[in-house]
Amino acid sequence: MKEASYLALTQESLPPRLAGIPAVTERLGRAHDTWRVKEVGDGNLNLVFIVESSEGSLIVKQALPYVRLVGDSWPLPLYRAFYEFNALMRQAQRDPGAVPEVFHFDEDQALIVMEFLSPHVILRNKLIAGEKVAGLGAFCGRHCARMAFRGSELSMKSADKKTDVGVFAGNIEIPAITESLVFTDPYFDAEMNTHTAGLDPLVAKLRSDVALKCAVQSMLVKFSSNTETMLHGDLHSGSIMATETDIRIIDPEFAQYGPMGFDIGTLTANYLMAYFSQPGHRGADLERYQDWILSVITDSFEAFDAEFRRLWATERSGMLYPKSLFEDQGHGSEPACNAMLEAIWQDAVQFCGIEMHRRCLSLAHNADFETIKDAQTRAGLEARNLEMGATLILSADKVKTSQALCALARTFNGKDVL
């Protein structure tokens, strides 16, 4: 990548700069001075523009050479756009329709031109607003299963998968963010950490729990030294856009190879944080809406399980658990599939607990809690979330099913932890 030629787009410079790209003019027309451009990047890392004309619309996403949330004191390589583009290609192939269509990629400018999803809004905002999305759990569970299975050597040719591991091994700084912000910083007084006033005693307790820290670090070993499949790497409710009935997965710039349970575990944590934060947002319909959130979790794992089993039976063409060893010998391979799903579940439970912690303890908190203005209310709800997270990390082996996970959530939801 010739970083020298890179230039961040502005609302003003975007139309003339993109006017020569056929994939753009095909959709917006050639009269670029009539295009309407709006910068809407509300994430932590990038510029995001909606560009509209009388003929059509699209999104232009451009990486910035630093962490937007922090500023240019935290540089971040532009090459992440290359990984995001590559991840989007693989997602589209492995779960057609699940991600925005990509129209154009410019590696030098670290920009991706893609489908503008409308009237989709960020799922996290819907969860805060108390809005339901039909089929959410089924869609996301199926998506995670397809990505897990089809990106692994259960399905891929070894040569293709190993080559791809080599490609993604070049992405160093992005995984490093997760490694520190998610797995390490929450558990000591790291520089950029913040937490809600009132949580001090609980935070001190968590940070002095050596068994907890050991368990989290053992999951960091798995996260950083495991190449089972290509992960989204940052699958939370801000990485999903939805209408009442349509759902898309966005923003895979944290894509990396990692353990199959990571994405669905992280996503589950975000549902649980939505669940625990609801008393700060809802009135009369609180209980019913919380029930719905938990149903999304059980739907997710039910769909993951069903889809993984379907793919195991129909698409197991890789070198792992080959049919030559099982079906071709008249031996069923269900015990192996069961064991693999159980291992994925256990990993997911622990990753879930870790994500629940990091969103309240280190940088990059989430709006579910942050938009609760009263600090005392917020602290009380975050405390339930933190305590349940610790239980999941330390006692994952006692939480056998998603139903048990949800029952545990109900228990903590009724507790005054502080």
List contacts with a second copy (CB under 8 A): 152-153, 158-159, 162-163, 165-167, 169-170, 172, 175-176, 179-180, 184, 187-188, 190, 207-208, 210-211, 213-214, 217-218, 220-221, 224-228, 319-322, 324-326, 328-329, 331-333, 335-336, 339-340
3-class SS of residue 157? coil
How big is the CA angle at 167 (ends 163 and 170), to the nearest 5 degrees?
145
CB-CB neighbours of 74 under 10 Å: 14
d(Cα 261, Cα 276) in Å, to the nearest integer?
22
Question: Given the complex with a second copy, which of 102 and 181 has the nearer CB atom?
Answer: 181
| SS3 label, residue 13 | coil
- Tell me the closest approach of the beta carbon of residue 162 to a second copy, in angstroms: 5
CB of 227 to a second copy, least distance (A): 5
Gap between the Cα atoms of 79 and 255, Å rounded: 12
CB closer to a second copy, 328 vs 374: 328
At 228, list the tokens: 């089972």
Run of H or E residues at 241: strand 240-242
Q: Which is nearer to a second copy, 223 or 412 (CB)?
A: 223
In single-letter form, the type of residue at position 72 comes to D
C-alpha distances (whole Å) from 304 to each of 115, 129, 341 are 27, 27, 9
State the nearest-atom distance from the C-beta of 90 to a second copy, in Å. Answer: 16
Q: How far is the CB of 228 from a second copy (least distance, A)?
A: 5
Relative to beta strand 240-242, strand 71-75 is unpaired
State how far the Cα of 142 lies from the Cα of 97, in Å rounded to an integer: 12
**In the complex, least distance from residue 360 CB atom to a second copy, rounded to whole angstroms:** 18
How far, in Å, CA of 224 to CA of 219, rounded? Answer: 9
Give the residue among 165, 176, 183 at the shortest CA–CA distance from 230: 165
Nearer to a second copy, 86 or 237 (CB): 86
Residue (292 or 321) nearer to a second copy, CB: 321
Distance of CA 399 to the CA centre of its chain: 22
Judged by beta carbon, residue 316 or residue 378, the one nearer a second copy is 316
Smallest distance from the beta carbon of 323 to a second copy, in angstroms? 10
- Given the complex with a second copy, which of 288 and 323 has the nearer CB atom? 323
What distances in angstroms separate CA 258 from CA 152, 211, 232, 233, 358, one per listed residue? 10, 23, 9, 8, 19
**Residue 121 corresponds to which amino acid?**
V
* Number of Cβ within a 10 Å radius of residue 179: 14
Comparing CA positions, the residue from 265, 199, 207, 238 lying closest to residue 366 is 238
CB nearer to a second copy: pick between 15 and 318? 318
Cβ atoms of 94 and 230 within 8 Å: the answer is no
Least distance from a second copy to the Cβ atom of residue 310, Å: 20
For residues 243 and 333, which CB has a smaller minimum distance to a second copy in the complex? 333
Nearer to a second copy, 175 or 380 (CB): 175
Tell the smallest beta-carbon distance from residue 335 to a second copy (Å): 5
Q: Taking the complex as a whole, how short is the minimal distance between the CB of residue 389 and a second copy, in angstroms? A: 17
Cα Rg of the chain, angstroms: 22
Q: In the complex, what is the shortest distance from the CB of residue 363 to a second copy, in angstroms, rounded to a whole number?
A: 16
Residue 277 near residue 124 (C-beta atoms within 8 A): no
